[in-house]
A and B are shown apart, each in its own frame.
Chain A
Amino acid sequence: MNALEGVTLIDFGQYLAGPFGPMVIGDLGANVIKVEPITGDGMRMVNKPFFGCQRGKRDIALDLKTERGHDVALELLKRADIVHHNMTAGVAKKLRIAYEDCLAVNADVVYCNTWAYGLEGPLARFGGLDPLFQAAAGIEYDAGPVQEGNPPLYLRFGMTDTANAMLSVVGCLAALYHQRTTGEGQELWTSLLDGAAVLEADALLVDGKPVERPHLDKGQHGIDACYRLYQTSDGGYIQIAAVKPAHWVALCDAIGLPDLAGDTRFATAAARRTNRAELESILEPAFATRTGVTWSRRFDDAGVPSQVPTDTHDGELMLFDADNERLGLVAEYDHPLMGHMRQYGTLIDFSETPGHIAGPPPMVGQHTREILGWLDYSDAEIEELRGENVVYWPDDAYPWSV
């Protein structure tokens, strides 16, 4: 049995912040049905991000704006434990699949909307993409870093979408637990803005004034003389994390500057923070005398935490890493158009109810007939819906690349 076996989630989302959460819930064993416009999810044109948030789902392509399409949607909603989407303000209401519409057919449903900004407020009417929220919550500011005179830097991992989606996963599962223990469903929401803010949760004010946090240097090496990248003689880098007092002493010894450990300018972590530039000007030339691997072997012996950064070549080496394969961190499947594919695998391991990655990202409407059959539509009705362009399933003229 899987942890969420028997849980049905209807996913009306598109792009990233909507679909990502349902995929994670699907990995935990839920039955996830992606309801896709017959014109395709807007993200299909950007293949990698699309693939990154759609695996394991079954897909019905449905025109929600038609009366018969709406009837199909209601049949889906009746069978849902969780309904999930990232529609912008007013859209779900117009399509008559808002929480109130769901309640009429399914009284104890968990209903989640992942917004860009939020449910109500001055900017709630706007949709928007991840970069806006990296800007609004200090992520680009810190990554520049702007306080050192650099331009802001966008982080290409698109994490605020994922953060929004993961907040929705935690929220949906908390609501589902509450529903299982009390019988009561409810509506919930999360947002890209709040997701971004949670990533920067260590920012705080005391008496309305910012509390100083360690910040990145102009060269983007690190946030402390003992917690940063140093360039090595081979032109590469080594990351050190000499966090504890014992690490500091061991580092001075291993790098051939034992006197530094007794230097009062650097005697404590606080002193090393105060005299960061001075210390870095001593350590930088020292690190530049040997290769990263030489340092790393020496540091391992000396008990100084360090790591030579790996270039994984767009992540592909991670997907062919023997440890990752053996530990289930890589998933493999065949896609009808893309052939054999690999993605990251299990994100959470369960000792008794293992996760279940059901298969590759679906094609537009790949499971339309199967799902309509499950909703008790007859073969004749299904053909009729297709004839009226209410539903779609792939044919020889399939226009999308994935």
Chain B
Amino acid sequence: MSGALDGVRVLDLSWGIAGSMGVLLLAEQGADVVKVEPPGGDPFRDYSGHAVWNRSRRSVTIDLKRPEGLEAFLRLADDADVVVETFRPGVTDRLGIGFEALHARNPRLVYASCPAYPDGHRLADHPGYDALVQASSGQQWEQPGWRLGPIFLALPLPSVAAMFLVPTGILAALVAREDTGRGQHVRTSLLQGVLLYTTQIWNHVEHATADFHEVMSKSHPPGVHQEFLFEVESGDWVHTCIMSGLTPIRSQDDLIGLEGDPSDNERFAMLSEEERNQFTPRRRVAYKERDGDTLVEEFRANNHAVEPVISMEDALGGSAKPHPQLVANDMVATVEDPVLGTTTQIGVPIHLLGTPGAIQGPRPRAGQHNDEILGGLGYTPEQIAVITGADRAAVRA
């Protein structure tokens, strides 16, 4: 194992997407991650994505509500560089594993928290499921759909934004620690994740011009980029693009047989809404007559960027060949999951050329490394049974 984060030891107390995926990005650049699960395991283990979110780490089960479990966790934290948790504000303090308690014992510790709402927010004590944050933050109202009103976002945007903020904060604190010698408390939240993805559309300015407000504003039916989605003969869809960074050979309209009309999409985008509304239906008819594969091939040969609309499963190769560029990027990976068997998952998305990252192993079973990790602290098998709650499970059985 040789990565940029070699030697960085992380204790991962998180459940769900934001914490686990955030930790994944660190683990696959070399950080040594131990997932700490309650007896019985992380309650998200049944979710389809769990096998991906939680790979590249070891697992230990600890009953934090028992003094023996608490002591074992504290000993692990004494030796850690980073602790990550995603409970509601105040929960870790009540368990005796809050920032203050751990930092007092290990001043170099970076302690990262990612609840749904920041400590002190009026909703901080409310349940923090992703969709509730979508709703409370206005994100559902901001997305136009096929009907009026709020639209449920199948992509859990607050979580898949916060998953980037967690490792960003941790790494910034690790860099700062090189100067100060001290760790600190790094906090973000799903709500701050919402803000991350609205930066392009939410601004308030005193002297706003019409341009400022209208471009990229919400519209119904969905506008702007939606206009460049076209159905082809098979009933599948393609998304064309107004720019590719390359000089086009034949224009897009020429390629679909609409010669004499606006010569390219960049020019089309400059037309008035009225002009576009007259023109778009003609394009839709022309695309509908074309074979999708041939069209994509011709577009690309003429230096136009275009993508068929597919599911992520198909991008991984679920029904035909995987997306060729994902393959080229080493983003289609085979992982032997201990529960599911042979899986195809995304690869490592950050490409460091000097210290290449790598998948460090499949998702562990809950407590798979109990003996190795707790035994390494000198605990006997009897003590380990108490720490992990295995003694109680045995009694129940």
Rounded to whole angstroms, the CA-CA distance of A131 and B28 in the bound complex is 28
Is A94 interfacial (CB 8 A cutoff)?
no
**Residue in contact with B150 in the complex, picked from A131, A162, A309, CB distance below 8 Å:** A309
- Within the complex, the shortest CB–CB distance from A313 to chain B, in Å, comes to 8
Contact B309 A140 (CB under 8 A): yes
Whether A329 sits at the interface, judged by CB under 8 Å, is yes
Q: Is the CB of B239 within 8 A of A170?
A: no
The answer to whether A351 and B184 have CB atoms under 8 Å apart is yes
A123 at the A/B interface (Cβ < 8 Å)?
A: yes
Q: Please judge, given known A-B contacts A127-B243, A127-B305, A157-B157, whether A197 and B164 are in contact too, CB under 8 Å.
A: no
Please indicate the chain A residues that have their CB under 8 angstroms from the CB of B300 in the complex: 123, 126
| Nearest CB in chain B: distance from A81 CB, A | 10
Contact partner of B154 among A126, A128, A145, A305, CB < 8 A? Answer: A145
1/0 per residue, CB under 8 A from B, across A300-316: the answer is 00000111111110111
Interface membership of chain B positions 126-165, coded 1 if the CB is closer than 8 angstroms to chain A and 0 otherwise: 1101011011111111111111011111110100110011
Docked-complex contact B349 and A167, CB < 8 angstroms:
yes
Chain B residues in 8 Å Cβ range of A51: 203, 205
Cβ–Cβ contact B49 & A202, under 8 A = yes
In the bound complex, how far is the Cα of B153 from the Cα of A220, in angstroms?
Answer: 8
Is B69 located at the chain interface by the 8 A CB criterion?
no
Check: B390 CB closer than 8 A to any chain A CB. Answer: no
Among A53, A197, A319: residue with most chain B CB under 10 A:
A197
Q: A138-B311, A187-B354 are known contacts. Are A344 and B164 too (CB-CB below 8 A)?
A: no
Q: Given A127-B243, A156-B222, A348-B192, A174–B316 Cβ distance below 8 Å?
A: no
Residue in B5, B150, B205 whose CB lies within 8 Å of A237: B150
B350 and A188: CB pair below 8 A? yes
Decide if B245 touches A223 in the complex (CB within 8 Å): no
Encode B214-225 as 1/0 by CB contact (under 8 A) with A. 011110001011
B48 at the interface (CB under 8 A from A): yes
Cβ of B353 within 8 Å of any chain A Cβ, yes or no, is yes
Chain A contributes a number of interface residues (CB within 8 A of B) equal to 159
**Residue among B222, B243, B307 with the highest chain A CB neighbour number at 10 A:** B307
> Which B residues, 328 to 361, have Cβ-Cβ distances below 8 Å to chain A?
328-329, 331, 340-346, 349-355
Are B143 and A156 neighbours in the complex by a CB distance under 8 Å? yes
* A227 is an interface residue with CB less than 8 A from chain B: yes
What B residues does A185 contact at CB under 8 A? 354
B4 within 8 A of A: yes
Q: Do A135 and B309 contact each other (CB < 8 Å), given the known contacts A205-B318, A210-B318, A351-B184?
A: yes
Q: How far is the CA of A176 from the CA of B169 in the complex (A)?
A: 14
Given contacts A131-B241, A180-B175, contact A401 B211 (CB under 8 A): yes
Q: Pick 18 A–B contacts, CB within 8 A, sort by A.
A: A1-B179, A48-B216, A52-B199, A117-B329, A119-B351, A128-B244, A147-B311, A156-B225, A170-B171, A174-B350, A189-B351, A197-B326, A197-B346, A203-B315, A237-B150, A318-B198, A338-B212, A348-B186
- Taking A161-B200, A210-B318 as known contacts, 14 extra A-B pairs with beta carbons closer than 8 A to each other, sorted by chain A number, are A51-B205, A118-B328, A125-B246, A127-B244, A133-B307, A151-B229, A159-B197, A229-B152, A231-B149, A236-B149, A305-B127, A329-B191, A342-B204, A352-B184
